[in-house]
Amino acid sequence: MKTSGGSDAMKRRAGESAAETVEDGDVVGLGTGSTAAHAIRALGERVDAGVEIRGVATSFASRELAIEERIPLVDLDEVTGPDAAGIDVAIDGADQVAGGDLIKGGGGAHAREKLVDSAADRFVVVADPSKETGVLDRPVPVEVLASARGVVADAVRAAGGEATLRRAERKDGPVVTDNGNLLLDCAFGPIPEPAALATTLAGTPGVLEHGLFVGLADEVHVGTADGVRVLEP
Ligand SMILES: O=C(CO)[C@H](O)[C@H](O)COP(=O)(O)O
């Protein structure tokens, strides 16, 4: 699984701490990224020890890892909707954390992540200290229909940002998401009002999903050099 900055030991502490909060019988949203991967591995150990959980993957990568870890999987539509079990807890990483607001989508999985994370009764974010900030200011990943990339780039510019098509590192051409769409990384500089920008992006035709997760996090587990800080935004 792709890794980003930050210490792997800190990410592991955060992932393990979040996995410990999962209870026998839970349906668990399995996030994407190197920090969420530590949580999935820790959940795999709990499954080996006899804890019964079912996972809902947020990406091809988290599904593959969950299979490797022998975590039984269900599809999102099997556990959501009237009379369905629901998702008890989702554990997922973030590219930037400001209180309960996040930027996600560094791995291009934010559309399914937002579906699963927002459907969960409890959404636990796992991070290392490098992700913490006072004000969100990283480029916001936006998943778009291929034919809409120009239209969305124009709308982003009108909103004060600059959109860059995400290109693949080991293939010619753009990154194509698990859903068959393209990604625009949209730089706005500091985002003092993420809710307002989220509304603008969500209302732009051609946008499938953006990476602003506003007010969704219930807990943030930050792995540090010698432990874990748990914040409840
Ligand atoms: O949003 C994500 C994927 O779409 C990841 O959770 C985010 O990029 C953090 O990844 P990592 O834990 O590897 O730093």
State the CATH architecture for 8-132+215-231: 3-Layer(aba) Sandwich (3.40)
Q: Which residues touch 147 (CB under 8 Å, ≥6 apart)?
A: 206
Residue 33 annotated in ligand binding? yes
Ligand 1 within 6 A of CB of 107: yes
Express as a percent the part of the chain with pLDDT over 90.
97
Can you give the pLDDT at residue 4?
Answer: 55
For residue 93, the CA-to-ligand 1 centroid distance in Å is 5
Residue 107 annotated in ligand binding? yes
When pLDDT is cut at 50, 70 and 90, the band that residue 6 belongs to is low
What residue's CA is closest to ligand 1, atom 9? 94
pLDDT tens-digit readout, 38-54: 999 999 999 999 999 99
Ligand 1 within 6 A of CB of 35: yes
Long-range contact set of residues 70-74: C-beta below 8 Å, sequence gap at least 24: 70/44, 71/30, 71/40, 71/43, 71/44, 71/47, 72/47, 74/27
pLDDT tens-digit readout, 95-131: 999 999 999 999 999 999 999 999 999 999 999 999 9
Ligand 1 within 6 A of CB of 34: yes
pLDDT tens-digit readout, 50-78: 999 999 999 999 999 999 999 999 999 99
Mutate to test the pocket of ligand 1, among 3, 34, 125 (most ligand atoms within 8 A of CB): 34
Domain extents for the chain? 8-132+215-231, 140-210
Ligand 1 within 6 A of CB of 33: yes
pLDDT tens-digit readout, 153-171: 999 999 999 999 999 999 9
ipTM of this model?
Answer: 0.99
**Structure tokens, 53:** 């959980």
The three-state secondary structure class of 118 is helix
Span 20-38, mean pLDDT?
Answer: 98
- Give the residue numbers annotated as catalytic, written as ranges: 113
CATH 3.40.50.300 corresponds to the domain 140-210: no
Please tell me whether the overall predicted TM-score, pTM, comes out greater than 0.90 for this model: yes
